[in-house]
Amino acid sequence: MPTHELILVYEPEAACLARLVAAGMARARAGEIASYLAQSTDLALEFDAISDACAARGIVFRPVELDRAASVLGATDPAHAIVWTLTDGIAYFRGSAAPALARLGGVAAIGSDDSLFALCQDKFRAGAVLAALGLPVPAGGLARDGVWLAPAPASPSGYFVKPNRLGAKIGIWKDSRCTTEEQALALSRRIFAAYGDDAIVQPYVAGQNARASFLAVSPAADARDIGSVFVDAGGDFQTMEDSLALYGETRAQARSAGAYFEPALAQIAATRPQAAKHIEAIGVALMEKLGLRDVFSYDLRLEADDTVHLIEFEVCPGLPCFDFRAYCKSQWGLTLAEAMTDTAANRLLG
């Protein structure tokens, strides 16, 4: 009887760091960028748990480093395997190659269409698409090293400036919220000098930070299984410094020093049911209009009057991160390893 396989493709932090340094990037900045892949480092600690959960369902769990993905997928039986890509990336990261390789080899994949792996990592282009689909995204300008490529709209509330193609709060500092266009352009120069990236400049949106998560653990899962929570990191917005302390080796160091803490999560439906309905409606639109499926998350700002702003979406949410674990537990009553296994089993075994 053929063996069923769950193939998890991941890009290690160390491989990314070495590649960026070899390309001439300062090691400190390369390390910040590579930290985006810390979920690969964290999830590796649970490979045995995932393997055991899969084995109980008659599935072989096979974690594969991205640089080996082409050869492994080329030798895979498409009829008895499914690919789960852990990270996206088209610029500093390369994870979007994995779902494309799966499609090339005719291997089924968990997650959205591979074109969305590229779109989600370009915040400016993604925002344009989301706006065209009628979703409530803030308008944005794009600047490169102090020069407007697309001017930002006038904003009495000021601006929020961040790298266009970097996630995990990389390049978001305490002064990333600014007042004037001149200050926004100065931040774009700082971003370009540090990372060589363009900067997206959006009107500052007041409110609370929220995240919505989805995993198709059940074959019948739909937008009603989206879980939305307030994420309180103790400030108006989370910075790169805040984010670095939550994942990978930096998290381990913070824990050993007694300085580790996770942002507080609170179910939005418990106190703001109308806002939760708005967030679910956004999820429906993302699934029906954009094509998100299987596993994804999206970040939002929620105003006091329940106005919801969609900030960005992720096709590869941080699976081992505190918020996604909490979603698996609250929505499905499962550990991360169990939730991943059930999701794969439903696709592989029917």
Instruction: Compute the chain's Rg from CA coordinates.
Output: 20
Predicted confidence at residue 253, as pLDDT, reads: 59
Residues 110 and 154 in one domain: no
Predicted confidence at residue 90, as pLDDT, reads: 86
Checking if the pLDDT of 35 tops 60, the result is: yes
Predicted confidence at residue 250, as pLDDT, reads: 60
Average pLDDT, the chain: 93
Predicted confidence at residue 259, as pLDDT, reads: 55
Residues 53 and 112 in one domain: yes
Q: 126-130, 169-173, 255-259, 283-287: which range is least confident on average? A: 255-259
Q: What is the band of 237 on the pLDDT scale with cuts at 50, 70, 90?
A: confident
- Helix (H), strand (E) counts: the chain: 15, 14
Which residues are CB-neighbours of 201 under 8 A, at least 6 positions away? 140, 141, 142, 143, 152, 159, 160, 161, 181, 184, 188
Predicted confidence at residue 245, as pLDDT, reads: 73
Give the whole-angstrom CA distance, residue 321 versus residue 323.
Answer: 6
Residues 101 and 15 in one domain: yes
**Residue 70 domain-assigned?**
yes
Q: 127-136, 252-261, 277-286: which range is least confident on average? A: 252-261
Residue where a domain terminates, one of 203, 220, 246: 203
**Residue 227 domain-assigned?**
no
**Residue 98 domain-assigned?**
yes
What is the edge-to-edge ordering of all strands in the sheet holding 141-144? Answer: 147-150, 141-144, 199-203, 159-163, 177-178
Phi and psi at 4, nearest 5°, equal -85, 140
In this prediction, residues 106-135 reach a mean pLDDT of 95
DSSP 50: H
Residue where a domain terminates, one of 84, 119, 154: 119
Residues 68 and 110 in one domain: yes
> CA angle, corner 155, sides to 211 and 123, nearest 5?
45
Q: Which region, left, alpha or beta, applies to residue 291 given φ > 0 means left and ψ of -120 to 50 means alpha?
A: left
**Residue 320 domain-assigned?**
no
Residue where a domain terminates, one of 203, 221, 243: 203
Q: Is the pTM of this model over 0.75?
A: yes
Task: Provide the number of structural domains found in the chain.
Answer: 2
In this prediction, residues 94-109 reach a mean pLDDT of 95
Give the whole-angstrom CA distance, residue 87 versus residue 196.
Answer: 21
**Tens of pLDDT, residues 269-321:** 999 999 999 999 999 999 999 999 999 999 999 999 999 999 999 999 999 99
In this prediction, residues 173-178 reach a mean pLDDT of 95
Residues 165 and 113 in one domain: no
Give the whole-angstrom CA distance, residue 319 versus residue 72.
Answer: 23
Predicted confidence at residue 247, as pLDDT, reads: 65
Checking if the pLDDT of 258 tops 60, the result is: no
Predicted confidence at residue 233, as pLDDT, reads: 79
Checking if the pLDDT of 42 tops 90, the result is: yes
Q: Is residue 336 within 8 Å of 320, Cβ to Cβ?
A: yes
Predicted confidence at residue 234, as pLDDT, reads: 79
Residues 11 and 99 in one domain: yes
Residues 97 and 58 in one domain: yes
Q: What is the band of 89 on the pLDDT scale with cuts at 50, 70, 90?
A: confident
**Residue 284 domain-assigned?**
no
In this prediction, residues 121-127 reach a mean pLDDT of 95
Q: Is residue 298 within 8 Å of 283, Cβ to Cβ?
A: yes
**Share of residues in the chain with pLDDT > 90 (%):** 87
**Residue 43 domain-assigned?**
yes
Checking if the pLDDT of 350 tops 80, the result is: no
Predicted confidence at residue 275, as pLDDT, reads: 96
Name the residue range of residue 115's domain: 4-119
Residues 106 and 33 in one domain: yes
- The helix/strand/coil state of 303 is coil
**Residue 338 domain-assigned?**
no
Predicted confidence at residue 343, as pLDDT, reads: 98
Residues 110 and 67 in one domain: yes
Predicted confidence at residue 288, as pLDDT, reads: 97
Predicted confidence at residue 165, as pLDDT, reads: 95
Q: What is the band of 139 on the pLDDT scale with cuts at 50, 70, 90?
A: very high
**Share of residues in the chain with pLDDT > 70 (%):** 95
**Residue 115 domain-assigned?**
yes
